[in-house]
Amino acid sequence: MPEEFDKILAGVKQSLSGKTNPRTKKPYTESEMYAIAQSQYKKDKKDAEVFFVKAPITKFWEEEVPLNKSATNKPTSKQRFIEVTVSGLKEDRDNEMMSKEAVEDMIMQFKSGTIGFFPDHGFHEQTGERNVYSWKQMMGVFVDARQENDSLPAVIRLNKAHPDHELFWKYITEEGMPLGFSIGGKPEEEATFIEIEDNAKAEVTKEVENEKKS
């Protein structure tokens, strides 16, 4: 197997050694750990096509909002929101930038309320697997976004039912921890690069399909 697989297998064995498999109620066997590592290796190969953007938290607040937009009486509940700058029209650390069309497409996707926020890149504490985006792990959902000059701020409504929700909120509001997000996406097809005037800077002009990350 490739060297990358050997590293994953070593990590899986280190994290699961002596632990009990919740499915079998017995310690993990060599074959089970090998299967987990193999599954993770395949996921990593597939995820190699995905890009990530570091997104710092820029604002947070609490607000009374309707529990159900379609309800007649529209009962309200105090919800917690976080704003992060996820992208924009400026160059990123890879000397690339999003096109205006791509940013507009991202705004529509964030506003749809279908992109979830998952902590630790979907890391499963019990099995040691990564990129396991289970509904039980969803700590929030993106609900809004806008273009502000050259930036793209997006808003997350936190899931108060998540067991770590309160701890996460205190890290931000009380302790001032420098937390941030990693926003992932996957181009729908090969990106198109355009040379800008006389320099060699490249502009990514492809539409992107956002994926849920943390």
Nearest one of 139, 120, 138, 144 to 130, comparing CA atoms: 120
Into how many domains does the chain fold?
A: 2
Residues 98, 27 share a domain: no
Residues 192, 100 share a domain: yes
Residues 141, 36 share a domain: no
Residues 179, 84 share a domain: yes
Residues 96, 27 share a domain: no
pLDDT at 166 (0 to 100): 93
Residues 73, 43 share a domain: no
pLDDT at 99 (0 to 100): 77
**Alpha-carbon distances of 85 from 46, 128, 144, 150, 157, rounded to whole Å:** 26, 30, 12, 10, 15
Model pTM?
0.58
pLDDT at 55 (0 to 100): 66
Residues 94, 198 share a domain: yes
Number of CB atoms found within 10 A of residue 81's CB: 17
Q: What's the pLDDT tens digit per position in 83-101?
A: 988 876 666 655 566 778 8
Residues 150, 118 share a domain: yes
Average pLDDT, the chain: 76
Structural domain including 83 reads: 52-211
Residues 32, 111 share a domain: no
Residues 65, 27 share a domain: no
Residues 84, 113 share a domain: yes
Ranges of residues in the chain with a pLDDT under 70 are: 1-2, 45-55, 67-74, 88-97, 182-214
- Domain end position, chosen among 47, 68, 83: 47
Cβ neighbourhood burial of 151 (10 Å; 0-12, 13-18, 19+): middle
Residues 174, 118 share a domain: yes
Spatial distance between the Cα atoms of 32 and 183, rounded to a whole number of angstroms: 31
Spatial distance between the Cα atoms of 131 and 41, rounded to a whole number of angstroms: 11
